[in-house]
Amino acid sequence: MARAAFVWTSDGALRASPIPEGGARIGRGAEVEIRVDAQTVSRVQASVGLEGDHFVIENVSTTNPTKLNGVVVERRVPLSDGDEVQAGSLALIFHDLAAADRLSGPMCSHCSRENLATDTDCWYCGTSLVNAPTTILQRREVACRLVSAMGEHHDLLTDESLTVDDGGAPMVVRAGTDLPAGQPAIQVRNMEPRLVEAGDTLRVNGESASADQRLATGDRVDMGKASLLVIARVDPSA
């Protein structure tokens, strides 16, 4: 399981690589764990790893500085979700799915659907949550993040889905809601993102997709007008 990843653009296409919690090296050499194809990047550019509950990055190259949000990395420094790491002319965006984890919310006394911790009325039926049964707050992990070339992203918890609206734009569908009939969709089941509906308008890595196909970090999904890169917390091959 890898909760974080780097995303960058290469040859006009988004790329992604998960960051092992045991640490990884970034560079263009064959010996690194996160390999980027860019001549302006050192063979071993930087190292990243988990310390406590957050990731840190450290410059390794002696000739090529690594920058974090435009500032030269001179020592080991913490990374935050959305940070930009610059190596040569290459920009890598750090994504930490744990930063978007949520607390479970109250269950509606009328329709029994879960709400966000900040909701005052049920999102599904509109019933007031003032008298909702007391809920023990639990951490709900983001299982999947879908990133666009513009940097926008959509996070999904287990049983949540992402589909497209009538205009072809991506939209998140909460757990317990029926998906639009015939629309291509991605749904998280047991922490794994899978295709629910395939159809002619959905392709994975440029090829036709099949229903119930599992998705992994680095997969590119084209649906409607959206082209999205997958960051998955669970490796389907594990």
Q: What is the pLDDT of residues 30-67, one digit of tens each?
A: 999 999 988 999 999 999 999 999 999 999 998 899 99
Cβ burial of 144 (10 Å; 0-12, 13-18, 19+) is: buried
Pick the CATH number of 4-99 from 3.40.1170.60, 2.40.40.20, 3.20.20.140, 2.60.200.20: 2.60.200.20
Give the domain ranges of the chain: 4-99, 141-232
pLDDT of amino acid 131: 81
How far is C-alpha 103 from the chain's CA centre?
18
Tens digits of pLDDT across the chain (238 residues): 789 999 999 888 899 999 988 899 999 999 999 999 889 999 999 999 999 999 999 999 988 999 999 999 999 999 999 999 999 999 999 999 999 998 888 888 899 888 888 889 998 899 999 888 766 678 889 999 999 988 899 999 999 999 988 888 889 998 888 887 778 889 999 999 999 876 667 889 998 888 889 999 999 999 878 899 999 999 877 6
Fold of the 141-232 domain: Tumour Suppressor Smad4 (2.60.200)
Query: Measuring CA to CA, how many Å separate 142 from each of 18, 98, 196, 211, 231?
Result: 15, 7, 18, 22, 10
Q: What is the pLDDT of residues 77-99, one digit of tens each?
A: 999 999 999 999 999 999 999 99
- The answer to whether 4-99 and 141-232 have equal CATH topology is yes
Global confidence as pTM? 0.89
